[in-house]
Amino acid sequence: MNRYIGAHVSASGGAENAPVNAGKIGATGFALFTKNQRRWDAPPLTEETIESFRSNMHKGGFSPESVLPHDSYLINLAHPDPEKRRISTATFIGEAERVRKLGLIYLNFHPGSHLNAIETREALKNVARSLKTAGEQVPGVTFLAECTAGQGSNLGARFEELAFLLDFFAEIWEQGNPPLHICLDTCHLHAAGYDMETPEKAAAVFQEFDRTIGFRHLRGMHLNNAKAPAGSRLDRHASIEEGTISAETFRYIVQMKETENIPLILETPRSELWPQEIEMLKKWSSL
């Protein structure tokens, strides 16, 4: 049994620094941006960076399955404007290529936004078509659509939307098993109205997830507490013991059999607490 527990660590100075930074906080998994997420372009990965990253992964005992790379927040694969969607898709393909060169297997992304210009289902079809293009050009990378808090016109706040995305992508994918699965964020779930306050409420949410989507699609999680109450639609992260989700909920999550062998990543705001939070989650998971 493996529990890949860690945080979204800095890759400042080069992606090769991320495994080192993860090791410093006692992590057994981690997330990173493989490029500056505030810019569309990025210099290509050098062979030296790739070799150093892979070496540091090995030294830190990290497997590709334990790492959850995240794409740029600028990308909107659902964009109603075809040219802007093309630019987002091209950037996403570049991100997938970086993931593959580093020897990783996942690329976590937000489904995007319809910008109140097109219907939700048409926007989700745009996402699926963009992912199909990316998957054809960069085989070997699995895309993880992240649930969202439901702010503005963002997609993915309801399980039914994610299920539609999965189903439509499966319809248009013609090369075997579709490389698309799900990443759940506890703060986003809570904010979107899936009440995670107690273990009992969280269990009901996961049951609904399993009915609507299926645990076979769960390939990663972000473990974040929430500053705002359930249903607020506010994406405001809090530290594990400081928000409106009980610490007992996180204890429950890291003991679920469905969270074995997937990255469980903190994006909590007080990075100085990460070593303590990671150690706590690891201890709970072993009980």
pLDDT of residue 2: 85
pLDDT of residue 41: 87
Amino acid symbol at 132: K
What CATH number does domain 4-285 carry, 3.40.309.10, 3.30.70.260, 3.20.20.150, 3.30.450.20? 3.20.20.150
Entry pTM? 0.97
Total residue length of the chain: 287
pLDDT of residue 37: 84
User: In sequence order, what are the residues at sequence separation of 6 or more whose Cβ sits closer than 8 angstroms to the Cβ of residue 43?
Assistant: none
pLDDT in tens, the chain (287 residues): 689 999 999 999 999 999 999 999 999 999 999 998 888 888 999 999 999 999 999 999 999 999 999 999 999 999 999 999 999 999 999 999 999 999 999 999 999 999 999 999 999 999 999 999 999 999 999 999 999 999 999 999 999 999 999 999 999 998 999 999 999 999 999 999 999 999 999 999 999 999 999 999 999 999 999 999 999 999 999 999 999 999 999 999 999 999 999 999 999 999 999 999 999 999 999 97
Q: How far is CA 238 from CA 94, 235, 244, 281, in A?
A: 32, 10, 9, 15
Which residues face 145 on adjacent strands?
109, 182
3-state secondary structure of 134: helix
pLDDT of residue 1: 61
Report the interhelical angle of 199-212 vs 159-172 (nearest 10°): 30
Q: Report the catalytic residues.
A: 38, 70, 73, 110, 146, 185, 188, 222, 235, 237, 267
The domains of the chain are located at 4-285
Q: Report the alpha-carbon distance of residue 275 to residue 273 in Å, rounded.
A: 6
pLDDT of residue 178: 97
